[in-house]
Amino acid sequence: MFKRFRRKRVNETLRNLVKETVLTKNDFIYPLFVKEGTGIKNEISSMPGVFQMSIDEILKECAYIRTIGLNSIILFAIPDLKDSIGSECLCEHSIISRTVKAIKKEFPDMFVVTDLCFCEYTDHGHCGILDENSTVNNDATLEISAQQALIHAKAGVDMIAPSGMMDGIIEALRTTLDSNGYENLPIMAYSTKFASAYYGPFRDVAESAPSKGDRKMYQMDPANRLEAIEESLEDERQGADILMVKPALAYLDVIREIRNASKLPLAVYNVSGEYAMLQAGKKAGIIDYERVMMETLLSFKRAGADIIITYHAKEACEILNKQ
């Protein structure tokens, strides 16, 4: 019998020698949600293990994740005050600035990324300013996005990640950052972001569901493969340092295509709905949660991702530490 495949699977050492893809603790960025107050740690019912936390609790969380070798986070804020233009995130006292400063003060070498958008800060829940017909005004949103970027930069963030899918956002942010002395601050673009039902649980955590309408006017149609590649290549042309595909699991084909089309580092966002499904499967006792999780995360790397933004980051690092 022809044994050309089986003879390389005979023992674990040989299997490891011929392994093509590995997950490491350096691959992950862990999302954290900050809320006003002290001593607050509210678990999200659809996302066990994911919390809204006040700054003091965020600091405790950072202290813990560093002990397991997880050193990169992405921050989302849930402000107390929301209005039509998201003014909370445009002042130097914003909850996100205070959080970044607190983290960088206590853990200067922690790599802190901020999500840059308006949906958490606006009372209507859209990712920018609305015009008379209740559609997001692209160019007006670019202006306030640049202001928000400077607030994050001044607070000492290590990388900004604009997630609102406005046209021209990367060029607008790069120009503003460069002309204000932040030439060394990298931008990770949410370059190919689909209008996805998989964001449902996130909108509960971030309290950011649009009060009316949806995001189909600015986020991508899940049906479009060629446009998905163009979206990322356009952000590359505008000066993005890292590209991203979001969500991850239902878009592995798109991850691979963008990997092949660009030489920039590529991130994927393993989103809230993907996490919630695995957690629900675990609770129902129908899957081996840890193995399914690690297999899922590995699939992102096999598809071509360099960086995985995931709510599983902590659990994955704990498992990798045991291996």
Residues that bind ligand PBG in the complex, under the rule CB under 6 A: 115, 117, 119, 127, 163-164, 199, 202-203, 271-272
Of 260, 301, 276, 274, which is closest to residue 25 (Cα–Cα)? 301
- In the complex, the smallest distance separating the C-beta of residue 292 from ligand PBG, rounded to whole angstroms, is 18
Residue among 163 and 279 whose Cβ is closer to ligand PBG: 163
202 interface partner picked from ligand PBG, Zn ion, none, CB below 5 to 8 A per type: ligand PBG
Binding to Zn ion, residues 111-130 (CB under 5 A): 117, 119, 127
- 191, 235 in Cβ contact below 8 A? yes
Q: Hey, which residues between 159 and 178 contact Zn ion (CB under 5 A)? A: 164
We find the least distance from the C-beta atom of residue 265 to ligand PBG, in angstroms, to be 19
Beta carbon nearer to ligand PBG, 1 or 223: 223
Catalytic residue selected from 3, 35, 41, 246: 246
User: Does 244 engage in binding with Zn ion (CB under 5 A)?
Assistant: no
Question: Closer to ligand PBG at the Cβ: 98 or 203?
Answer: 203
Among 35, 82, 193, 301, the active-site one is: 193
Is the CB of 27 or the CB of 115 nearer to ligand PBG? 115
Cβ atoms 205, 50 nearer than 8 A: yes
Angle, helices 313-322 vs 55-67, to 10°: value is 20
Least Å distance, CB 59 to ligand PBG, is 22
Please give the C-alpha separations between residue 183 and each of 12, 51, 153, 188, 275, in angstroms, as whole numbers: 47, 34, 11, 14, 35
The one of ligand PBG, Zn ion, none whose footprint includes residue 96, by CB under 5 to 8 A per kind, is none
Is there a catalytic annotation at residue 35? Answer: no
Nearer to ligand PBG, 119 or 266 (CB): 119
Question: Could you tell me the smallest distance in angstroms from the CB atom of residue 213 to ligand PBG?
Answer: 12
| Active-site residue flag, 246 | yes
* 141 φ/ψ angles, rounded to the nearest 5 degrees: -70, -35
At its nearest, how many Å lie between ligand PBG and the CB of residue 317?
19
Contact between 160 and 114 (Cβ < 8 Å) = yes
Q: How far is the CB of 202 from ligand PBG (least distance, A)?
A: 3
Q: Report residue 243: phi and psi, to 5°.
A: -100, 165
Nearer to ligand PBG, 90 or 261 (CB): 90
Rounded CA separation 45/227 (Å): 35
115 binds, among ligand PBG, Zn ion, none (CB under 5 to 8 A by kind): ligand PBG
Nearest to 199 by CA among 89, 88, 276: 276
Question: Long-range pairs for 92-96 at CB < 8 Å and ≥24 separation?
Answer: 92/151, 92/154, 92/155, 94/151, 95/34, 95/35, 95/36, 96/34, 96/151, 96/152, 96/155
Q: Which of Zn ion, ligand PBG, none sits in contact with 300, Cβ below 5 to 8 A by type?
A: none
**Terminal CA-to-CA distance of the chain, rounded, Å?**
35
Which ranges of the chain would DSSP assign to H, the alpha helix? Answer: 12-17, 55-67, 95-106, 138-155, 169-179, 200-205, 226-238, 252-261, 272-283, 289-303, 313-322
DSSP 84: T
251 binds, among Zn ion, ligand PBG, none (CB under 5 to 8 A by kind): none
Residues that bind Zn ion (CB under 5 A): 117, 119, 127, 164
Report, as residue numbers or ranges, the catalytic residues: 193, 246
